[in-house]
Structure 1
Amino acid sequence: MRVLFVGHGPAHVPWIVPLAWACRLAGHDVRVAVRPQCVAPVTRAGLVAVPVGDEAAAGAAARRQLALGPGRLQDSGASATALDADLAEALTEKMIAVADTLTDDLVAFARFWRPDIVVHDTAAAAGPVAAAVLKVPAVGHTWGVSLGVHCERAAELRPSYARLFERFGVEPLVGPSVWIDPCPPGLRPPHGVRRADMRYVPFAGPAEVPSWLRAPRPGGRPLVCVTGGVTTSALDEVRDQVVGALREQGAEVVLAVTAEQARTTGPLPDGVRLVASFPLDVLLAHCDALVHHGGVGSGLIAVTRGLPQLLLPRNAFQEHWAHLVRASGAGDALPAGATGDAVGTAVHGLLARPSYRERAAALRDEIDRMPAPDRLVGFLEDCVRAGHTDVSTPEKASR
């Protein structure tokens, strides 16, 4: 079986690596089609990358200005809901605009390589186009959130989506869709697309565990990780006050940054360490809590370790994810502009109240019960044999 994976941006590549490798280990041929800026992350994962599109054109489409500023974080008593309709609309049109710069190259490669199935990041709208041209099944793969380009009913067909298909002389793919989803049900808002659960397996590359991370901490002080994810400037404005608040709480602090950010980071105070381009799942195995910008990947990695988390979202989408985490009881969130005192109080609550860790552990157990990536390979094989995606999804596994 030939499986063509279609990725989105750099932060999305890690989500598709586990299933791509599961397909390889099952003996199938795999190619990963991505924008040029994503080629290096794919090849570092040991997979075969296919660059598609012009990076300048794709980047210009991706940089479209949207109303994504902070300010939507709801009251703590509000229940979790789907992403705001206007924000979801803007993000969907942005994804389609990026796809418009990629489809020519992607379809050309698909016609050359002839995959049996296309597994596409749900934000990568070019994937369904290639599948429609080749008349093979298309399966979505979420990046931890219920967001992506899809059309479940003819009445929902948007002109921009239809135009992606029309220039190749094929009918737009109109549902029912199926998405492989590694998000645990306790963090997953309702959505109209059918899901195929898959256990979340974090991937961030190789690492060497340093001796200081294995050593006992003086006085048993908690170790708290602070990160802005791959968006290196996400917490720059508040980093110093966050670190100060954590130190006042008696915590040891480790800053997880990119290699680029590490080069511009000045001297650090006592009790604060810095790691550059270090796999977050390895680091969090030794931590007691996580403070981060509201990234879905960072948040789910904390869940796999059963850690409470404090989210400091910097835009409306991160606020949506922060709201879901807070509503689950596995963490807390503060709006942009929160003071150091507020951060200190929130971190104290995370470390002192058992309920946060208990809820994080419950979500971790949900992940552990989800089918491992190798079981989703069988689902893809069934889709190829049937010629469509309306086949049974794997059942939840016993732990």
Structure 2
Amino acid sequence: MRVLFVGHGPAHIPWIIPLAWASRLAGHEVRVAVRPQCVAPVTRAGLVAVPVGDDAVTGAVAARQLGLGPGRLKSAGESAAVLDPDLSEALTEKMIAVADTLTDDLVDFARFWRPDIVVHDTAAAAGLVAAAAVEVPAVGHTWGVSLGVHCERESELRPSYARLFERFGLDPVIGPSVWIDPCPPGLRPPHGVRRADMRYVPFAGPAAVPSWLRRDRDSERPLVCVTGGVTTAALDEVRDHVVASLRGLGADVVLAVTAAQAENLPQLPDGVRAVESFPLDVLLAHCDALVHHGGVGSGLIAVTHGLPQLLLPQNAFQEHWSDLVRSSGAGAALPADAAEGAVGAAVQDLLARPSYRQRARALRGEIDAMPLPDQLVGFLEECVRAGHTEVPTPKEAGRR
């Protein structure tokens, strides 16, 4: 079986790596089609990348501003943690516009390589066009949140979506859709698309374990990780006061930063160290709590280790995830510009109150109960045999 994975931006690539590798280990041929800027993360994972599109052209569309500042969620009385309708509409149109810059190359490759199935990031609508071009099933793959391009019925068909297909002489793909979803149910808001659950397996790249992580710590002080993620500078402006507040609690701090962020770090005080481009899933195994920008990947990695987390969101997407984590009881959230004293008090509460860790561990239990990626490979195989995606998911079939 030939499986064509279609990725989106750099922050989305880690989500598709586990299933891509599970497919390879099952003996299938795998290609991962991505924008040129995402080739390196794919090849570092040992997979074969197919560059599609022109980064300058696609980047100009992807950089389109949508007003993602905080405060763009619906009120709690409507539906908690849902983006407002205007922003959701603008986001969908932006994802379609990005897809329009990629479809020529992607359809050409699909017609050349002839995949048996296409697994596409739910934000990568170009994957739906490629699947239609070679008449194979298309399966979505979420990036931890319930956002993406889909069309479940004729009444939802938008002109821009239809045009993606029409210029290739194709009929637009209209539901029912199915999305592979590694987000545990306790952090997943309701959504109209059918889900195929898959256990979340963190992937954050290779590393060599440093000596200080290969021995027991010589301090009883809690160790708190602070990160703004690997694709943003989200916490750069508030990092120093966050660190100061944690040191005021008597905690040791480890900063997880990118190479670019490492160049701009000040002299670090005692009790604070930095790790550069280091896998967060390895680091958090040694920590007691996480303070971060509200990234979905960072948050779910904390959950896999049963860690409480403090989120400091700076835009609507980060607010969306922060609200889900806060509502689950596995963490707390504050505005990114919260006063130093508020950050310190929130982390102290995270460390002192057992319920945060208990709830985080309960969510980890939900993850552990979800089907492993190899079970989803079986689901893909069944979709290929049937010629469509309306086959039982591993959960529906009672398999793990």
Same fold (TM over 0.5): yes
Counterpart amino acid of residue 84 in structure 1:
D
1:191 partnered with 2:217: no
1:162 partnered with 2:162: yes
Helix, strand or coil for the counterpart of 1:220?
A: coil
Task: Tell me the residue number matched to 2:104.
Answer: 104
Residues 122-201 of structure 1 aligned to structure 2 (within 5 Å): 122-201=122-201
Aligned-pair distance for 1:259?
1.3
Tell me, in whole angstroms, the C-alpha distance in 2 between the residues paired with 1:351 and 1:73. 29
Residues 182 and 64 of structure 1, relative CA distance in 2, 3 Å threshold = same
Counterpart amino acid of residue 123 in structure 2:
A
Tell me, in whole angstroms, the C-alpha distance in 1 between the residues paired with 2:167 and 2:73. 40
Tell me, in whole angstroms, the C-alpha distance in 2 between the residues paired with 1:100 and 1:13. 20
Whether the aligned pair in 2 keeps the contact of 1:82 and 1:190 (CA below 8 Å) is: no
Tell me, in whole angstroms, the C-alpha distance in 1 between the residues paired with 2:251 and 2:4. 46
Residues 341-380 of structure 1 aligned to structure 2 (within 5 Å): 341-380=341-380
Whether the aligned pair in 2 keeps the contact of 1:128 and 1:173 (CA below 8 Å) is: yes
Whether the aligned pair in 2 keeps the contact of 1:70 and 1:336 (CA below 8 Å) is: no
Residues 235-246 of structure 1 aligned to structure 2 (within 5 Å): 235-246=235-246
Tell me, in whole angstroms, the C-alpha distance in 2 between the residues paired with 1:174 and 1:125. 12
Whether the aligned pair in 2 keeps the contact of 1:176 and 1:193 (CA below 8 Å) is: yes
Aligned-pair distance for 1:77?
10
Aligned-pair distance for 1:71?
2.9
Structure 2 unaligned spans of 5+? none
Whether the aligned pair in 1 keeps the contact of 2:81 and 2:319 (CA below 8 Å) is: no
Deviates more, 1:66-75 or 1:120-129: 66-75
Tell me, in whole angstroms, the C-alpha distance in 1 between the residues paired with 2:76 and 2:274. 32
Aligned-pair distance for 1:264?
2.1
Aligned-pair distance for 1:210?
1.4
Tell me, in whole angstroms, the C-alpha distance in 2 between the residues paired with 1:40 and 1:98. 20
Residues 123 and 273 of structure 1, relative CA distance in 2, 3 Å threshold = same
Tell me, in whole angstroms, the C-alpha distance in 1 between the residues paired with 2:78 and 2:130. 41
Tell me, in whole angstroms, the C-alpha distance in 2 between the residues paired with 1:74 and 1:355. 27
Residues 18-97 of structure 1 aligned to structure 2 (within 5 Å): 18-72=18-72, 80-97=80-97
Task: Tell me the residue number matched to 2:275.
Answer: 275
Aligned-pair distance for 1:123?
0.4
Helix, strand or coil for the counterpart of 2:176?
A: coil
Aligned-pair distance for 1:311?
0.3
Whether the aligned pair in 2 keeps the contact of 1:2 and 1:116 (CA below 8 Å) is: yes
Whether the aligned pair in 2 keeps the contact of 1:3 and 1:116 (CA below 8 Å) is: yes
Could you report, residue by residue, the CA deviation over 1:233-262 in whole angstroms, capped at 9, with x for unpaired residues? 110110001000000011100000011211
Counterpart amino acid of residue 198 in structure 1:
M
Task: Tell me the residue number matched to 1:249.
Answer: 249
Task: Tell me the residue number matched to 1:339.
Answer: 339
Task: Tell me the residue number matched to 1:314.
Answer: 314
Tell me, in whole angstroms, the C-alpha distance in 2 between the residues paired with 1:22 and 1:382. 15
Aligned-pair distance for 1:78?
9.5
Tell me, in whole angstroms, the C-alpha distance in 1 between the residues paired with 2:137 and 2:399. 29
Could you report, residue by residue, the CA deviation over 1:295-316 in whole angstroms, capped at 9, with x for unpaired residues? 0000000000000000000111
Deviates more, 1:63-72 or 1:100-109: 63-72
Structure 1 unaligned spans of 5+? none
Could you report, residue by residue, the CA deviation over 1:12-38 in whole angstroms, capped at 9, with x for unpaired residues? 000000000000000000000000000
User: What RMSD over aligned residues (CA atoms) do the two structures have, in Å?
Assistant: 1.7
Task: Tell me the residue number matched to 1:115.
Answer: 115
Aligned-pair distance for 1:82?
3.0
Q: Percent identity?
A: 81
Whether the aligned pair in 2 keeps the contact of 1:79 and 1:327 (CA below 8 Å) is: no
Residues 208-219 of structure 1 aligned to structure 2 (within 5 Å): 208-219=208-219
Residues 268 and 398 of structure 1, relative CA distance in 2, 3 Å threshold = farther
Residues 226 and 303 of structure 1, relative CA distance in 2, 3 Å threshold = same
Counterpart amino acid of residue 93 in structure 1:
E
Whether the aligned pair in 1 keeps the contact of 2:117 and 2:136 (CA below 8 Å) is: yes
Tell me, in whole angstroms, the C-alpha distance in 1 between the residues paired with 2:161 and 2:75. 35
Tell me, in whole angstroms, the C-alpha distance in 1 between the residues paired with 2:73 and 2:82. 13
Counterpart amino acid of residue 289 in structure 2:
A
Could you report, residue by residue, the CA deviation over 1:34-70 in whole angstroms, capped at 9, with x for unpaired residues? 0000000000000000000010011001000111012
Tell me, in whole angstroms, the C-alpha distance in 2 between the residues paired with 1:79 and 1:221. 40
Q: In the comparison of the two structures, how many residue pairs are matched? A: 399
Residues 291 and 98 of structure 1, relative CA distance in 2, 3 Å threshold = same
Taking structure 1 as the reference length, what is the TM-score of the superposition? 0.97
Counterpart amino acid of residue 4 in structure 2:
L
Whether the aligned pair in 2 keeps the contact of 1:227 and 1:293 (CA below 8 Å) is: yes
Deviates more, 1:259-268 or 1:184-193: 259-268
Helix, strand or coil for the counterpart of 1:256?
A: strand
Counterpart amino acid of residue 345 in structure 2:
T
Helix, strand or coil for the counterpart of 1:163?
A: helix
Tell me, in whole angstroms, the C-alpha distance in 1 between the residues paired with 2:292 and 2:25. 34
Deviates more, 1:173-182 or 1:81-90: 81-90
Whether the aligned pair in 1 keeps the contact of 2:238 and 2:336 (CA below 8 Å) is: no
